[in-house]
């Protein structure tokens, strides 16, 4: 090899070494720019509040910069599709709720994303739904409600404001044989007010709009979905205690990234989001929003998502539900 060729070859090796070192440094430096946290609902809503509470602690712990973006529309599906089709580099993270992931996969065939391909990181929180009836209704428990609805089929209607609440109520109907016609509303606050005014026989909804009316004596809570009681309503039995363990509908929110995100980035995010979620102030803040903080991560969270998709799809098929 001539001296000139040796110098050239050496230069190539040095250039290659710099490239490798640069790539390694870039990988090790993650995150070296702001991480965008995509929320599919308006500022001030539950998922937005979850994100702001947790990411503040995440930033304190890591020194990383995060930016929360609210991409509102289509029940959060616009945001989920945006993240699913974003670069898989760890800089675009979805705060995903049951409706955007498990419910959407079970009921919609024309999504621009596959919810099953989103990679679950950490569950933020979970919560049961609450079955309420008018305070004036004579039913004091679920079995009495079922009997009352069967004997008054022309008055058996229910308020609902989302596919998740519809599925929960139709699951109750399937497991009890009770009748019930859905009355759609724009929000769970409206469906709870329908019950309070005795225009609806029942609604199954989330806690924030239901609990004030329950505590104010305007409505009566008969059960919470699932096997455990809610800390917010310790005197209200679970559906399992009421005799209907199969009426188990727990909603959740969590962090997701696009398929193909590097394992090291996934591990970093899972670890640091978990550390933020374990903080006492963060947990207390979540509890004040009537949710159960934390939950499974990674593969176990994925199992939960897939199990929920299968469960919800089964209810939709059995009840012959159609959603637009």
What's the pLDDT tens digit per position in 231-251?
Answer: 889 999 999 999 999 999 999
Q: Give the separation between CA 157 and CA 176, rounded to whole angstroms.
A: 15
221 — pLDDT class (breaks 50, 70, 90): very high
Q: Which residue has the higher pLDDT, 14 or 309?
A: 309
Residues 6+ apart with CB under 8 A from 126: 250, 251, 252, 291, 292, 295
Strands 119-128 and 219-224, sheet pairing: unpaired
What fold is seen in the domain 32-127+251-319? Answer: D-Maltodextrin-Binding Protein; domain 2 (3.40.190)
pLDDT digits (tens, 9 = 90+) for 100-135: 999 999 999 899 999 999 999 999 999 999 999 999
**184-206 exposure pattern, b = at least 16 Cβ within 10 A, e = fewer:** ebeebbbbbbbbbeeebbbbbbb
Q: Distances in Å between the alpha carbon of 299 and those of 38, 202, 295? A: 22, 37, 12
Q: Which of 52, 12, 31, 9 is nearest to 257 (CA)?
A: 31
Q: What is the mean pLDDT of residues 196-221?
A: 95
In 3D, which of 148, 100, 114, 163 has the Cα closest to residue 319? Answer: 163
Specify the pLDDT at position 2: 53
Please name every residue paired with 130 in a beta bridge, in sequence order, or none if there are none: 205, 224
Q: Report whether pLDDT(73) > 60.
A: yes
Residues whose CB falls within 8 Å of the CB of residue 148, separated by 6 or more in sequence, listed in order: 137, 138, 139
Count of alpha carbons within 13 Å of 230, Cβ hemisphere only?
28
Mean pLDDT, the chain, integer: 91
The Cα 263–Cα 322 span in angstroms is 38
Q: Provide the pLDDT confidence category of residue 59 given band limits of 50, 70 and 90.
A: very high
Bridge partners (DSSP) listed for residue 96: 254
Decide which of 8 and 271 is more confident: 271
Q: Pick the more confident residue, 5 or 167.
A: 167
Give dist(CA 240, CA 246) in Å, integer.
7
pTM of the model: 0.84
- Total Cβ atoms within 10 A of residue 219: 28
pLDDT at res. 27: 47
**Sign for the pseudo-dihedral over CA of 10, 12, 17, 18:** positive
Please report which residue ranges of the chain form alpha helices under DSSP H: 3-28, 46-62, 77-84, 98, 104-107, 142-151, 163-176, 188-196, 207-215, 263-277, 280-287, 298-319
pLDDT of residue 145: 98
Provide the pLDDT for residue 286.
Answer: 94
What pLDDT is attached to residue 63?
Answer: 97
pLDDT digits (tens, 9 = 90+) for 255-308: 999 999 999 999 999 999 999 999 999 999 999 888 999 999 999 999 999 999
Give domain 130-224's CATH architecture. 3-Layer(aba) Sandwich (3.40)
> Cβ atoms within 10 A of the Cβ of 213, count?
19
- At 44 the pLDDT is 87
Average pLDDT on 72-90 reads: 96
- Domain residue limits, the chain: 32-127+251-319, 130-224
Helix (H) or strand (E) holding 126: strand 119-128
Q: pLDDT tens-digit profile of 16-49?
A: 444 444 434 444 589 999 999 999 998 988 899 9
């Amino acid at each position: 090899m001539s001296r000139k060729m040796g110098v050239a070859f050496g230069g190539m090796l040095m250039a290659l070494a710099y490239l490798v070192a640069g790539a390694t440094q870039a990988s090790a430096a993650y995150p070296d720019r702001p991480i965008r946290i995509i929320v599919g609902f308006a500022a001030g809503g539950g998922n937005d509040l979850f994100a702001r509470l947790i990411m503040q602690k995440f930033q304190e712990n890591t020194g990383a910069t995060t930016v929360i973006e609210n991409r509102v529309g289509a029940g959060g599906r616009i945001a989920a599709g945006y993240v699913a089709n974003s670069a898989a580099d760890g800089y675009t993270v979805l705060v995903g709720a049951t409706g955007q992931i498990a419910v959407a996969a079970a009921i919609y065939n024309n999504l621009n994303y596959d919810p099953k391909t989103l990679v679950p990181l950490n569950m933020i929180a979970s919560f049961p739904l609450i079955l309420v009836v008018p305070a004036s209704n004579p039913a004091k428990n679920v079995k009495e409600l079922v009997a009352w609805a069967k004997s008054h089929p022309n008055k058996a209607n229910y308020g609902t404001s989302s596919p998740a609440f519809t599925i929960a109520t139709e699951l109750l109907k399937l497991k009890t044989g009770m009748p019930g016609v859905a009355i759609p509303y724009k929000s769970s606050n409206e469906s709870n007010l329908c019950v309070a005014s005795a225009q609806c026989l029942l609604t199954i909804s989330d806690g924030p709009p239901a609990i004030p009316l329950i505590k104010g004596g305007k409505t009566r809570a008969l059960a919470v979905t699932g096997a455990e009681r809610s800390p917010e309503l310790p005197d209200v039995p679970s559906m399992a205690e009421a005799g209907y363990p199969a009426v188990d509908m727990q909603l959740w929110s969590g962090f997701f990234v696009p398929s193909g995100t590097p394992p090291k980035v996934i591990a970093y995010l899972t670890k640091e989001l978990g550390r933020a979620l374990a903080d006492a102030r963060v947990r207390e803040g979540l509890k004040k929003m009537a949710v159960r903080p934390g939950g499974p991560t990674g593969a176990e969270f994925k199992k939960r998502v897939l199990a929920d998709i299968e469960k919800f799809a089964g209810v939709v098929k059995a009840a012959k539900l159609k959603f637009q």
